Amino acid sequence: MSKRRRTSKHRRQPTKDSQIPKLMSAKTLCFVLIVTFFLSTFGTLVRVSESMPGNVYRIKETVGWQTIMYHHRKFMHMTSTFMDSLEHRDPVKEQSTATNVKKKIIRFEPIVQPAASVARNIISRYPDYSSLKVNTNDVHGIANASNSHIKITNSRICIDDNITVRIELRNGLDERMVTGGDFLRIWMKDDHSHSSVAGYVIDHMNGTYTGVVRAAWKGRATVKVSVGHTKEQVALYAQYFNKYGAFKYTNATFFSVHPNVKESTQCSSTHWQVEQRYRGYCNFTEKNYNISYFCGQPRYFDCEDWKQYGWDDVMYLDRREIHIMKAFSHALIDAIPIEIQAKRFPIPYPRLPCHLLEKHYTWTASVPVGYRHMGLWHSTQCSNHIARRTKAYINCLAARSTIFVGDSTTRQWFKHLVKILGIDLENQAFAKNDSRGWQKHIRAKSKRYAIKMEWMPHEHPFAGTPGSAISNLKSVQYRLDRIGANRTDIVVIHWFLHIARSCDHNAFREHVRKAKSAIVRLLERSPNVQIFIKGTHSHTYKNEYMPLEYIRRFVEQVLYEEFINLQNKVTYLEGWELTEAMENDNVHPSFHIVDQMVHNFMAFACKDIDGD
């Protein structure tokens, strides 16, 4: 019985996945591969000489065994790739698929513009950290600084060069990390010359990183790399926030007739957690100048009986979570000594005085914005022309009011200037460092020079001394709205650690927007007022639970985004690099660090004054 011929209509049509090119004959395939081999080998040995007329070809170099072997390997790779394409196999894809079947790995998106001094794109990673599963029973998979390696790739280092460091993170089992998301820091210092500078780190999302730090001075130096915070620490922080509504609470104290009979409840920027814990909540948003603030409903008092506030350090972390939050922070990977040589044509120092620098450059600067040399901080953007003399400071601030709104670090700036200027405080309890007195609105003045200075804490949440009166706190917008028209005041605004305890990026944005609207109104009636936003600062305090490497980035990003249309009118005072480079370890920086920060601020606030 003759077989029936299958027509094209009855032939099996190839599917989309099975559509493969028509295979060539063996002779044709061999010919193509041989020609490809010779072209790849000898094609690089000739070049067009642009200096010869008629584009005459000439031999670039003689054929050596190393060249033949290189192109042989290239030829074999091309052959393997070609055969794989015929068989529809993708070895890399198959290997990746097999790996993903074993374990689901969260791939973090790379940070755009890692050299930006003011962070701009960390908030998009928050969902990834929130969904990252942390095995608190086994910490061996966490990045381990002792097992990690760094290597400087520069063969020769001259002043103003970028020193590049290859970083390979390994875990507690000495296995290479295969994902990114950890926060590393790099800096360079020399104790002999009292010099230091901070750098930045590029995350390649595969367990390897590249650190970059500028050679800012000539001579000896030591490059240091550390694990600031691991992704597991940030994940626990984000998950804790999602569960409890705050990382650390503040508290509200209620009493009516007798102050000794009182009750305290926890407070947060969100109401749902305190409502569940206390079966009700007090909405103090209006009392907090229309910024969200809620406290648990007391059992024996009314919400109107709220009289005092303070910190609340109760944490709902277990022993293993606490170990992860504290044990893996700021662990040094290695410190490599180097020698920086002179350069024949070094980059000239900036000559533009800082007070003439366009304000938006303070928001868009790249790392480093400055460095310390011979004990003094030098800006890479502009020149600090103001003399380090009391008379120079007096000439700058005479007949003006300087207003600081923020926390205890802006209070440090206030006290530092008061001491330099030798002006009188109105409240002596402040001078004696009374635990509750420092949180009150404080003023200082000099009748001789018509200098007025004041400091006040910002709005809730504010982790003050328990028992502090609620009348102490006013919002930033409240204070700005009370500055009159046609003024020449200097205003310094700061949010960081108190906000970081209790607010995520969404809650913090509400604070900034309220203040921004007040700044717009102020500049309309007093265009000569100088507005400064004091940035974040680094500290490696061992008992700190919060992953500040992540927190400072979301604080900076919110500030950057909300002030995007005011960056030409508001100056950003970067502080993280200075404190990181100078290895600040305390919540409150030392006198020397504060002195450098204040003098840098004065360079932007004052005209060229030598103090003579």
Same domain, 532 and 404: yes
**Do 189 and 221 lie in a common domain?**
yes
* CA dist., res. 134 & res. 152, Å (int): 32
416 plus 514 within the same structural domain? yes
Please list, in sequence order, all residues whose beta carbon lies within 8 angstroms of the beta carbon of residue 27, skipping any fewer than 6 positions away: none
| 336 shares its domain with 303 | no
Contacts of 563 (CB under 8 A, 6+ apart): 363, 512, 516, 533, 570, 572
**Do you find a cis peptide bond into 368, omega within 30 degrees of 0?**
yes
Please report, for the domain that includes residue 582, its CATH number.
Answer: 3.40.50
Q: How confident is the model at residue 74 (pLDDT cuts 50, 70, 90)?
A: very low
- Do 577 and 541 sit in the same domain of this protein? yes
Distances (CA, A) of 203 to 108, 206, 296, 551: 10, 8, 42, 17
What is the Cα–Cα distance from 150 to 157, expressed in whole angstroms? 17
User: Does a structural domain hold residue 477?
Assistant: yes
The neighbour count for residue 359, using CB atoms within 10 Å, is 17
Does 422 map to a domain? yes
Do 210 and 265 lie in one domain? The reply is no
The whole-number average pLDDT for the span 409-436 is 82
Q: Average pLDDT, stretch 239-247?
A: 94
Both tokens of 236, joined, read 């626990």
Residue 72 has pLDDT above 50, yes or no: no
Beta strands in 458-557 (DSSP E): 468-469, 490-493, 530-534
C-alpha span between 543 and 554 (Å, rounded) = 22
Q: What is the pLDDT of residue 166?
A: 98
Mean pLDDT of the region 411-417: 96
Question: How many structural domains compose the chain?
Answer: 3
pLDDT tens sequence across 330-371: 999 999 999 999 987 767 789 999 999 999 999 999 999 999
Span 461-470, mean pLDDT?
93
Q: 287 and 184 in one domain? A: no
Report how far residue 514's alpha carbon sits from residue 493's, in angstroms, rounded to the nearest whole number: 13
Q: What is the pLDDT of residue 223?
A: 98
Q: Which of the four pLDDT bands, split at 50, 70 and 90, describes residue 260?
A: confident
Q: Of all residues in the chain, what percent carry a pLDDT higher than 90? A: 72
Structure tokens at 305: 């009986």
Residue 413 in tokens: 């700036």
**Cα–Cα distance between 55 and 69 in angstroms, integer?**
30
Residues sharing a CB contact under 8 Å with residue 461, sequence separation 6 or more, in sequence order: 246, 249, 250, 267, 268, 269, 293, 498, 499, 501, 502, 503
pLDDT at res. 22: 41
Phi, psi of 175 (to 5 degrees): -105, 145
Position 433 scores a pLDDT of: 55
Asked, for residue 376, whether it belongs to a domain, the answer is no
On the question of pLDDT at 37 being above 70, the answer is no
Tell me whether residue 443 is in a domain.
yes
176 has a pLDDT exceeding 60: yes
562, two tokens = 């909300």
Q: For residue 531, is it within any domain?
A: yes
Amino acid at 579: T
List CB contacts of 13: < 8 A, sequence separation 6 or more.
none
Structure tokens given for 198? 């901070």
Q: Both 415 and 561 in a single domain?
A: yes
Q: What is the DSSP letter of 438?
A: G
Neighbours of 517 (CB within 10 A): 13
Residue 222: inside a domain: yes
Do 252 and 308 meet the contact criterion of CB atoms below 8 Å apart?
Answer: yes
Question: Distance from first CA to last CA of the chain, Å, rounded?
Answer: 118
When comparing pLDDT for 288 and 276, which is higher?
A: 288
pLDDT at 20: 35
pLDDT at site 81: 44
Mean pLDDT of 467-488: 95
Same domain, 272 and 200: no
What's the confidence (pLDDT) of residue 98?
38
The rounded distance, in Å, linking the Cα atoms of 573 and 355 is 12
In this structure, how many other beta carbons lie within 10 angstroms of the beta carbon of residue 564? 10
Give the Cα separation of 332 and 181 in Å (integer).
18
Say whether both 431 and 547 belong to one domain: yes
Can you name the residues that pair with 403 across neighbouring β-strands?
A: 454, 491
Q: What is the mean pLDDT of the chain?
A: 84
Residue 518 domain flag = yes
Q: How far apart are CA 248 and CA 238, in angstroms?
A: 12
Same domain as 268, residue 173: no
In this prediction, residue 6 has a pLDDT band, given cuts at 50, 70 and 90, of very low
Structure tokens at 473: 């706190």
pLDDT of 26 higher than 60: no
Rg (CA), the chain: 31
Cβ neighbors of 460 (< 8 A, separation 6 or more) are 250, 267, 284, 288, 291, 293, 309, 473
| Domain match, 440 and 558 both | yes
pLDDT digit string (tens) for 220-230? 999 999 999 99
CA pair distance 268, 242, nearest whole angstrom: 13
Residue 213's domain is classified under what CATH number? 2.60.40.10
Q: Closest Cα to residue 277, out of 292, 266, 264?
A: 266
Question: Which of 67 and 215 is assigned the larger pLDDT?
Answer: 215
Confidence of residue 30 (pLDDT cuts 50, 70, 90): low
Q: Domain residues for 301?
A: 249-314
- Convert the pLDDT of each residue in 153-175 to its tens digit: 999 999 999 999 999 999 999 99
Task: Quote the longest CA-to-CA distance of the chain.
Answer: 123
| Domain-located, residue 419 | yes
Q: 389: pLDDT confidence band, cut at 50, 70 and 90? A: very high
In this structure, the chain runs to a length of 612
pLDDT, residue 500, reads: 85
